[in-house]
C-alpha cells in the first residue's frame, strides 16, 4: 500500500523488486510535466536519492536564471545593507570590500561559483590584491569572505541558490593587532607638550613660517582639550568630533555621548548614532579635566565674539576649526597629533585611537573593575573588553600572587 514518505509524491515498497519506490510528477522549465520514479534498497537510501534528485531539479531551475554576482550583490546591498537598515559607514564598508570581487567574478552567475575558486580568490587577494597589488590584510580578506557569505545566504533564502559556496572555504589566519599605549609618565609629558603648543614647530625646517595668530592659538587650545578629554574618557574620535556643549554636565561632572560625527567615502561629514546601542552612555570626568573644559568654553565664547559672523558653530560643538565647523580628522592628525607625539617622543605607531586604548589600559592596571571600564568605552559586553585587553589582565595576573601574599602577611 502506498504511503507518504516526504513532501509531494507517493512512496511504496515494491514486493516484486524488493525496493522502496517513490513516484512524483514534476514540471519542466518548458512547462511540460514529467513523471519521475526513484528507488532504494532501504527507506533511508530512498530518502537520500530523493534529496539528490530534488537538489538537481532546483539547480536546473536556477541555471535558467541569469543572476550574476554583481547583479545580486548590488540588489542585496541596496535592500539589506543601505541606510536606514544599517549605518552609512557600514554600508560603504560592505560595498567597498565586496567590490574587490567584481573584476574577478562579478559577471558570473551565482549558481556557477564554486568553493574551490573562492578559496583561490581569497588567497590571491591576500597575496596580491589591493590597488597597488601589495596584498590585502588577512583581516580585510576575512571581511570580504564574511560579507559574501551573508549575501549568498540571502540568495538561498530568495530561491536563487541551492548551497552557499562560501561555507566550506577557510578563514585566513590573522595576526592579532598590536595595541600601543602610553604609560603614566608618557601621558603626563604628552599632555604638557600638547598644552604648551610648542610642538607645532616639530619637524619644521623653518619655524618662522609657522603662523602664530589668534586663529592658530585657538586651534592649539582646541586640540589640547581634545586629546586631554580623549585620554580621560576613552571616547572614540568620531564621538569627540560630534560632542556638543549640551552634553556636558558641569554640575554632575559627566558627559553624555549621544551621537558621533563620521567621515565617509560618499559624504564628507555626517552626524550618526553612536557605533552600537551601548555606545550611548554617560562618562564621569575628573575635576581637573572638567576645569580645563570650563576654561576652554569661556575662551571659545570670547573667540566667537571676536570673529563674529565668521564663527558659525551651528551644532554648539566643543571642538571646531577656526570658523566653528567640525574638526577635520585628517587635518588634526597630520598637522597637530603627529607633531604632538613626535615632540613627546612617543612611538609613531601610536594612533589617535590608541588614546582610547591608553585610557582603558591604565584604568585596568589601576585596579578599576572591568565592567566599569567596559561601560566607559561603550562596549556591548565585558567579553569584548576582555578580548581586546587580555594582555593587560595577563600582566596583572603575574602580580596577583604577590598581592595575595601581602594581604596575608602578618610580619610587621
Could you identify the residue written with the cell 625646517? 205
Asked whether residue 259 carries a pLDDT value surpassing 70, the answer given is: yes
Q: Is residue 235 within 8 Å of 257, Cβ to Cβ?
A: yes
Q: What are phi and psi for residue 369, nearest 5 degrees?
A: -55, 140
**Predicted confidence (pLDDT) per residue in 341-392, tens digit:** 999 999 999 999 999 999 999 999 998 999 999 999 999 899 999 989 988 8
Q: What are phi and psi for residue 42, nearest 5 degrees?
A: -130, 165
Q: How many CA within 13 A on the CB side of residue 199?
A: 27
Q: Which domains occur in the chain, in start order?
A: 10-63 (no CATH), 69-157 (1.10.150), 184-401 (1.10.443.10)
- pLDDT confidence tier of residue 394, bands split at 50, 70 and 90: confident
Residue 100: Cβ within 10 Å count: 20
Name the nearest CA neighbour of 164 among 61, 69, 49. Answer: 69
When computed from its CA atoms, the radius of gyration of the chain, rounded to whole angstroms, is: 30
**Predicted confidence (pLDDT) per residue in 57-77, tens digit:** 666 555 546 789 999 999 999
Question: What CA–CA distances, in Å, run from 71 to 66, 77, 79, 141, 205?
Answer: 9, 10, 12, 21, 54
DSSP state of 261: E
DSSP state of 30: T
Average pLDDT over residues 219-229: 98
Give the C-alpha separation, 342 to 347, whole Å.
8
Of 179-183, 239-243, 320-324, 404-408, the least confident: 404-408
Average pLDDT over residues 181-186: 96
Residue 399, all three cell numbers: 602580580
Mean pLDDT estimate for the chain: 89
pLDDT value at position 1?
Answer: 39
**Predicted confidence (pLDDT) per residue in 147-160, tens digit:** 999 999 999 988 88
pLDDT value at position 185?
Answer: 96
pLDDT value at position 54?
Answer: 77
The pTM score is: 0.76
Q: Which residue has the higher pLDDT, 29 or 167?
A: 167
Give the C-alpha separation, 201 to 343, whole Å.
9
Asked whether residue 296 carries a pLDDT value surpassing 50, the answer given is: yes
Amino acid at each position: 500500500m502506498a504511503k507518504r514518505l516526504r513532501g509531494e509524491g507517493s512512496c511504496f515498497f515494491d514486493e516484486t523488486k524488493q525496493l522502496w519506490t517513490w513516484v512524483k510528477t514534476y514540471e519542466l522549465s518548458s512547462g511540460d510535466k514529467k513523471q519521475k520514479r526513484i528507488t532504494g534498497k532501504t527507506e533511508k537510501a530512498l530518502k537520500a536519492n530523493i534529496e539528490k534528485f530534488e537538489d538537481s531539479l532546483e539547480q536546473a531551475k536556477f541555471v535558467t536564471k541569469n543572476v550574476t554576482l554583481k547583479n545580486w550583490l548590488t540588489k542585496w546591498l541596496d535592500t539589506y545593507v543601505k541606510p536606514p537598515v544599517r549605518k552609512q559607514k557600514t554600508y560603504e564598508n560592505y560595498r567597498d570590500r565586496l567590490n574587490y570581487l567584481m573584476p574577478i567574478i562579478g559577471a558570473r552567475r551565482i549558481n556557477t561559483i564554486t568553493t574551490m575558486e573562492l578559496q583561490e580568490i581569497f588567497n590571491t587577494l591576500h597575496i596580491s590584491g589591493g590597488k597597488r597589488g601589495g596584498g590585502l590584510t588577512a583581516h580585510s580578506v576575512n571581511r570580504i569572505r564574511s560579507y559574501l557569505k551573508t549575501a549568498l545566504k540571502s540568495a538561498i533564502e530568495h530561491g536563487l541558490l541551492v548551497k552557499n559556496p562560501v561555507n566550506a572555504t577557510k578563514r585566513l589566519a590573522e595576526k592579532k593587532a598590536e595595541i600601543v599605549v602610553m604609560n603614566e609618565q608618557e601621558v603626563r609629558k604628552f599632555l604638557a607638550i600638547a598644552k604648551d603648543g610648542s610642538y607645532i614647530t616639530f619637524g619644521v625646517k623653518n619655524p618662522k613660517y609657522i603662523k602664530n595668530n589668534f586663529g592658530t592659538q585657538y586651534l592649539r587650545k582646541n586640540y589640547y582639550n581634545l586629546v586631554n578629554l580623549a585620554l580621560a574618557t576613552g571616547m572614540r574620535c568620531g564621538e569627540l568630533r560630534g560632542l556638543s556643549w549640551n552634553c556636558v554636565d558641569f554640575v554632575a561632572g559627566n558627559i553624555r555621548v549621544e551621537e558621533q560625527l563620521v567621515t565617509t567615502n560618499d559624504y564628507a561629514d555626517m552626524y550618526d548614532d553612536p557605533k552600537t546601542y551601548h555606545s550611548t552612555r554617560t562618562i564621569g570626568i575628573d575635576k581637573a579635566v572638567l576645569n580645563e573644559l570650563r576654561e576652554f568654553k569661556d575662551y571659545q565664547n570670547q573667540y566667537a565674539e571676536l570673529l563674529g559672523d565668521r564663527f558659525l558653530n551651528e551644532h554648539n560643538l566643543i571642538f571646531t576649526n577656526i570658523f566653528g565647523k567640525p574638526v577635520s580628522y585628517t587635518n588634526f592628525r597630520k598637522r597637530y597629533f603627529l607633531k604632538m607625539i613626535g615632540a613627546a617622543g612617543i612611538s609613531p605607531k601610536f594612533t589617535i585611537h590608541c588614546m582610547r586604548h591608553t585610557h582603558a589600559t591604565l584604568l585596568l592596571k589601576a585596579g578599576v573593575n572591568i565592567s566599569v571600564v567596559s561601560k566607559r568605552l561603550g562596549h556591548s559586553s565585558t567579553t569584548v573588553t576582555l578580548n581586546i585587553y587580555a594582555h593587560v589582565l595577563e600582566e596583572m595576573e603575574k602580580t596577583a600572587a604577590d598581592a595575595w601574599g601581602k594581604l596575608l602577611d602578618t610580619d610587621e
